[in-house]
Amino acid sequence: MKKLILALIAATVTSEACLAQLSTDPEARQNVIMWEKKSRNEVPNPRRDSPAARALVIKANSLLKGQPTCAAMLKASRLLERADGMYIKAKIFDGDTRTVSRRVFWLEDLANAGICRKGRAS
């Protein structure tokens, strides 16, 4: 349990450091945009199944089709955050589920920075 808590703290600190750099470095911002767009069609396929979390990831991905609005990005971020919590409760930790965790921060940062289409979520 201690290792899990330490891993979560390390991931949070690393994400916050990356986001701080993201606000000042245009190249880092472009990389985040590229990584987020590449991961929009990914759905984790862990060894153990978590159908509810998988459904949330698919729904979040569907909100991000085409040129998403800022509101759609924030809504997708909340859905991915819930899915990440479900994966943690199911004790599923692998590369794909870590990407889900990262996408929460990427989407929030991009939406708050206004790097999205203005308007309401569909």
Which is more confidently placed, 93 or 46?
93
Q: Is pTM, for the whole model, over 0.95?
A: no
DSSP assignment of 20-86 equals HHHTT-HHHHHHHHHHHHHGGG-----SS--HHHHHHHHHHHHHTSSS-BHHHHHHHHHHHHHHHHH
Q: Which pLDDT does position 42 carry in this prediction?
A: 72
Domains identified in the chain, total number: 1
Structure token digits, residue 87:
């994966």
Instruction: For the chain, give the mean pLDDT.
Output: 79
118 located within any domain: no
* In-domain check, residue 76: yes
Task: List the domain range (segments joined by +) for residue 52.
Answer: 2-113
Helix orientation angle between 2-22 and 26-38, rounded to the nearest 10 degrees: 120
Q: Would you state the pLDDT for residue 74?
A: 95
Summarize the confidence of residues 20-27 as an average pLDDT. Answer: 67
- Statement: residue 122 has pLDDT above 50: no
Residue 30 inside a domain? The answer is yes
Give tens-digit pLDDT for 56-66: 999 999 999 88
121 assigned to some structural domain? no
Selected residue with higher pLDDT from 42 and 34: 34
- Whether residue 80 contacts residue 53, with contact meaning beta carbons closer than 8 Å, is answered with no
* Most trustworthy range by pLDDT among 64-78, 86-100, 106-120: 64-78
Tell me whether residue 119 is in a domain. Answer: no
- Look at residue 122 and tell me if it is in a domain: no
